[in-house]
A and B are shown apart, each in its own frame.
Chain A
Amino acid sequence: MPAALDDAPAASFKQRVAAALANPDLKIAIDRTTRTARQKREAAVADWPGFAPARDLGRRIKDHVIENLDHYLVEFERNAAASGAKVHYAATASEACDIVIDICRKTKGHTVTRSKSMLGEEIGLPHALDDAGLNRVETDLAEHIVQLAHDRPSHIIWPALHHKREDIAALFREHHHTPPNSDDVGAMVASARRELRPSFLGADIGISGANFLIADSGAVCTVTNEGNAELTTTIPRVHIVTAGIEKLVPGLSHAFVLLRLLVRSATGSDITQYTTFHCGPKQQGDRDGPDEFHIVLVDNGRTRMIREGIKEMLRCLRCGACMNHCVVFNEIGGHAYGGVYPGPMGAAMTPVFDGLKASRDLPSACTLNGRCQEVCPVDIPLPTMLRGWREKSWAQGLEPQVQRRFLGLWAFAASRPSLYRFGTGLAVKALRLLGRGGWISNLPLASGWTRYRDFPKPAARTFWQEFDAQDRKREQ
C-alpha cells in the first residue's frame, strides 16, 4: 500500500475557503458527522449532573500540571525509564521525526503500523516515514481512508469527515483486495478489517500517540474505539510513542477525571471501548508485547505557547467539540484552515506552529460567538486567544494596507464626537434611501453581503439623534 502524501495546500486562506464553499458534497459530509456529534455530546452532558464541577476540576488539574510541567516531566521520565522504556526528547517536529526514523533504522524495521495520533500529524510523521522508505500502514479506519485517498485529515476525531460514504465505498472498491459489495457502512468496515488484519500481524514497528502520560507510573494511556491501538502496540517488536509534553497528568485518578470529560465531549460516550495503559516493554513471562518501548516527548511550540501568553491551550484534550460547534468550521471544513489542527483550537495554535504572518487569517475567521469555549471540557478561553492574535497581528503591521487605512479613518472620526455624529447621520440617511420595506437588498461596496442576504434598513434617526430628542422632550 504505497502512499505519497499530497503537499499542504499552497493557495491562500480565501482561495481555500472559496473552494470549500463551492463544493456541495463537503457541506453534506460535514453536516452528517458534526450534527450527530453535537446531539450525542449534548445528551451525554445532560445525563451527568457532575459535568460542571468535573469540568472545573479538569481545568484545575491541567493548570496544576502546566504550572509544574518540568516537575512532572522529570517524574514521568524517571518512572518510564524504571519500567524499561527508553525516553527521548525532541524540541522540534523535525527532531522528533528524526528520532523515530532512527529507531526504525536501528531496529531494522520495514513495515510500520500506526495508530491515530494528532501529535504524529503535527510533526509530519506520516510524510517522514514515507520519505524514509518505510511501509507505513495507517490502522485507524479514518486514517486508512485518508491514506488511500492520498489526502489529509480534516478533523481531529473524524479525520475522514470530508468523505461521504459513497466516496469511501468507491475508494475501497478500487484499493481493497476483497472489496465491499455495497455502500453499506457495515460492509465497508468489514472490508477494512479484512484488508488491515495481515498488516497488523506482519508489522515490525508500531507507532502510537498518547492521550495521557501518567507521571507516577511512567505509563502511556491511549484511548480508542476500534482496538487498533492495542493491535498496533502489542504485535510488533518495537513500540514507539510520540507525545506532546502537555499530555502529563500526576496519576491515574487525575487521568480518569479528564477521561470522563474527553470522551463525552468527543463522541458522547461515557468511555471509549478501549482505554489502555502501556508501561514499558514485554515483561518476563509475558506472552506478547514488544521487546523495545520508546517514548518521544515533544515540545514543538508548547513552551512557546506559554511564552506567547496562551498557556491555557496546553489544557487541550483534543476532543474536537470546539470544531463540531463552530459555525465557521461547519461551513468550510477542516482543510480550508491549512494547518494540522482545524477549527477554533487550530486557529488558536496554528500561529505558533506556522507563524502569525502566514496564518493571520485564521484568528479573523471567527464570529466570536463563544460557543467553542462553552463546550470546551477544560474551559479554554479560545475567543480571548483569537482576539489576542488579532491584536498582535495589528501591532506587528500584518493587516493589509486597505484595512489599516479604513480603520485609521474610522479612528480619526471616532475620536471626534461631533464629526462622528455628523458622519453617521449622513450614512443613515443614505442607507434609508436604498431600503425597500425594512431591508436593503443591494448595497454598493457591500455586494458580497447583500448577494446572499438582505441588510437591515437603519432606523430613521441615529442613537444620538434619538437621545438628544428625548432629552429635549424631558427638558420641556
Chain B
Amino acid sequence: MSVRDDILTAIRQSLGAPAKPPGAISAESTALAAESAQSRPELPHADLVEAFAARLTSVKVVGASVDRIARIEDAPAAVARYCKTHGLGLALALQPDPALAALDWNGFELHAAISGDEAIAVAKARWAIAETGTFVFHSGPASPVLLSYLPMHHLCIIEADRILGHLEDYAIAEAGAAPPRNVNFITGASGTSDIEGRLVRGAHGPAFLHGIIVDPGLSEPKSS
C-alpha cells in the first residue's frame, strides 16, 4: 500500500466508526457554514461604503488612510494628492489593469514591472470587505501579486459597488468560479509584533496603505 492509503486506512481505523455517505457529510457541512450568520461581528454602519471607510481608518487596521472620489477618472488626482501629502515623487508601479491604463496619468512616471525597492504601487482591488476593512485581490494577467507586497506605499482603488459586508459574502460572491493562483486578503500595512509584542509597521511589505473609494454617490471629492 502507498503512504496515502496507509494514512487513509489509519484515519478510518482510529476513528472506529464507518465512513458516512458523502451526501450526509455535505449536508452537515452546509448546515455548519450557514450557522456562521448567527455569530459574525456586526457592521458599524448599515451603509457598506460608510462601514468600510470607518473600519479602514479605525485603530483596528494598521497604517491605513482613506480618500473618496466620485469617478474613477479622478483617481490620478487622488494619487497625486497622496504623493504630495507624503512628500513622494510621482514615479509608481501601476497595475496593468485596462481600467487604470485608460486613465489620464499625465505627469506621472509609470512602470508595469515592480522593482525590489518600489516606493509606490497603485492597484484596483477586486473586492473589499467592510467587516474587517479588507481589500481582496485575485492574481492574474492584469494583477500581479507582488504589487501588493514590495512597495512601501500601497494605494488600493475600490469601487463602491464592490464593497461586501462580511467575509462570508466573498465566498458567496465567488462561489463556483475557478480560483486564481492567489487570492490575497489585505488588511492594512505590513506589521510585526515579534519583538516584545510591540507593533511596528513595514516589516517586509508596505508600511502605508491608502484606500481610494470610487463612490458615484459622492458629488465633491473629500479627504479624511
Contact = CB atoms under 8 A, between A and B. Distances in A.
Interface stretch (B4-12, B83-91, B212-220): B4-12
A283 B181 contact: yes
Most B CB contacts (10 A, CB to CB) among A53, A60, A273 go to A273
B146 interface: yes
Contacts of A253: 33, 36, 168, 171
Given A164-B196, A245-B7, A282-B181, A234 B204 contact: no
A185 B96 contact: no
Nearest to A285: B141
A269 interface: yes
Interface in B151-176: 166-168, 170-171
Most B CB contacts (10 A, CB to CB) among A61, A69, A227, A257 go to A227
Interface in A42-90: 48-51, 53-54, 57, 60-61, 64, 66-71, 73-74, 77, 83, 89-90
Contact of B141 (A51, A257, A287): A287
Given A225-B190, A227-B204, A256 B167 contact: yes
A271 B132 contact: yes
A297 B132 CA distance: 31
Contacts of B189: 273
A217 B12 CA distance: 23
A136 B7 CA distance: 30
What range describes how many residues of B lie at the interface? 35 or more
Given A250-B29, A276-B185, A145 B19 contact: no
Interface string A17-42: 00000000000010011111100000
Contacts of B2: 89
Contacts of B188: 273
A299 interface: yes
Given A141-B203, A289-B139, A276 B193 contact: no
Interface stretch (A194-202, A418-426, A453-461): A194-202
A210 interface: no
B186 A273 contact: yes
Nearest to A144: B194
Contacts of A307: 14
Interface string B83-110: 0000000000000100000000000000
Contact of A273 (B7, B19, B62, B168): B62
A276 B184 CA distance: 5
B117 A270 contact: no
Most A CB contacts (10 A, CB to CB) among B3, B17, B181 go to B181
B217 to A, nearest CB: 27
Contacts of A140: 194
What range describes how many residues of A lie at the interface? 35 or more
A158 interface: yes
A286 B10 contact: no
A190 B152 CA distance: 12
A145 B195 CA distance: 9
Contact of B181 (A165, A274, A278): A278
Given A217-B179, A227-B190, A252-B171, A73 B7 contact: yes
B197 A273 contact: no
B184 A189 contact: no
B111 interface: no
B65 interface: no
Interface string A292-311: 00000101000110110001
Most A CB contacts (10 A, CB to CB) among B36, B60, B141, B183 go to B36
Interface string A193-218: 10011101100000000000000010
Contacts of A286: 139-141, 144, 181
A14 B14 CA distance: 34
B15 interface: yes
Contacts of B15: 66-67, 69, 306, 311
A140 B203 CA distance: 9
Contacts of A50: 38-41
A189 B192 CA distance: 8
A96 to B, nearest CB: 10
A454 B69 CA distance: 69
A186 interface: yes
B200 interface: yes
A254 B7 CA distance: 24
B184 A68 contact: no
A225 to B, nearest CB: 5
B190 A259 contact: no
A33 B140 contact: no
B76 interface: no
Most A CB contacts (10 A, CB to CB) among B39, B170, B194 go to B194
Contact of A189 (B41, B116, B195): B195
B145 A289 contact: yes
A271 B116 contact: no
Nearest to A308: B14
Interface in B32-46: 32-33, 35-36, 38-42
Given A50-B39, A197-B204, A286-B139, 14 more contacts: A67-B15, A70-B12, A141-B192, A185-B196, A219-B183, A225-B191, A231-B150, A234-B146, A250-B32, A256-B36, A277-B179, A287-B144, A288-B146, A306-B11
19 contacts: A57-B36, A71-B20, A158-B197, A160-B194, A185-B200, A189-B203, A193-B202, A198-B116, A227-B206, A234-B182, A254-B32, A256-B171, A270-B41, A273-B189, A279-B180, A283-B181, A288-B139, A288-B144, A289-B145
What are the 10 closest A-B residue pairs judged by CB atoms, nearest first?
A227-B205, A50-B39, A285-B141, A287-B144, A306-B14, A226-B203, A54-B39, A142-B194, A36-B197, A303-B10
